[in-house]
Amino acid sequence: MNEHELSEDEALQLAEELRSRLNDGEILEADQTSLQRMMAGLGDKRGSLRLTFAKSLGSVGDEAIPILCHALRHHENVVVRRASAKTLNIIGSKKALPFLLDAFKHDQDPVVLGSSAGAMATIGPDAMDDLFEILIHPDSTAFQVGLINLALSFIGSKAPEAILKAADSPHAEIRVAAIAALGEQIQALDDAMAKDRLIQALNDISSEVRAEAATLIGKSYDADDVQHLLVEMLSDDDTQVRKNAALSLMKLEAIDAIEPLTLAKTTEEDEGVLKVFKVAIQILQRASNE
């Protein structure tokens, strides 16, 4: 056994010791031997023990970053790579950003990708430009794009000006992500500028941006304020935009939209959109009778 590897009994004993010291508020040692023993614990099969080792390394803070970053990129055990990313999330230092980005781009494990994205979200605004670059890269997968959108939504309220700037990006992918992130600003800060920018997005040249805006409006406004705008979108050229507009009218319980939805249904040719219109009308009629 390698001097830094732990048997099951050794891992359990060390975890109990660390847990006790953490509970007592002690500062843990940051020497290489101690760090490597805690790192060895990140590969333990028992989730509760891995959590204790992650919290312990997290409490060490910046001094644990180099060994965690090296493990994130080079350790052959995927469990250790996953735990390293989660521990870097606990620390939340931008010093780890280059390694998290590299892992997000190149690791094949979805949990490593998700945990790396979560750690970058915790780092916050300093990670935004790099996330945007990955977002528009032609080799980025749909899974990566989804994780980036989640991360940017988390960052949104921490960087309102940067998100608003991104909403005017020449890249549609970035505008979609920025518009989605505006929801956090609106809900957390009641940001008037974010609300205005969301309304502007309804007329974006990109149907994906319009669709995202139509959905977000249903979560961010009162029906009286936006019903007329959503009704106009029932005749949008894009099927997804029309669906999202109808769903938002339904979510807002915009009872006055029953008539325009019914009218839109008579001219709608797409079966998928028709189904959404019919459901929205039924739900709104039910709400009007309550």
Say what the pTM is: 0.82
Q: Which helix (H) or strand (E) holds 87?
A: helix 78-91
> What is the per-residue pLDDT for 1?
39
The domains of the chain, with CATH numbers, are 1-91 (no CATH), 222-290 (1.25.10)
**DSSP code string of 254-269:** -GGGHHHHHHHHHH--
Rounded Cα distance, 45 and 202, in Å? 49
1 vs 125, higher pLDDT: 125
SS3 content of the chain, % helix, strand, coil (to 5): 80, 0, 20
Q: Which pLDDT band holds residue 3 (cuts at 50, 70, 90)?
A: very low
Three-state secondary structure call for residue 45: coil
CA 104 to chain centre: 14
Least confident residue range of 101-115, 144-158, 194-208, 272-286: 144-158
Mean pLDDT, the chain, whole residue set: 92
Rounded Cα distance, 115 and 118, in Å? 5
Rounded Cα distance, 68 and 236, in Å? 50
Tokens found for residue 151: 């991360």
Rounded Cα distance, 290 and 288, in Å? 6
Backbone angles phi, psi at 137, to 5 degrees: -70, 135
Give 166-206 pLDDT, tens digit per residue. Answer: 999 999 999 999 998 888 778 777 788 889 999 999 999 99
pLDDT(2) > 50: no
CA-based R_g, the chain, Å: 24
Q: Which amino acid is at 250?
A: M
Rounded Cα distance, 49 and 43, in Å? 9
CA 54 to chain centre: 22
pLDDT(70) > 90: yes
Three-state secondary structure call for residue 152: helix
Which of 219, 232, 227, 290 has the alpha carbon at shortest distance from 254? Answer: 227
Which of 84, 168, 88, 98 has the alpha carbon at shortest distance from 127? Answer: 98
Rounded Cα distance, 109 and 112, in Å? 5
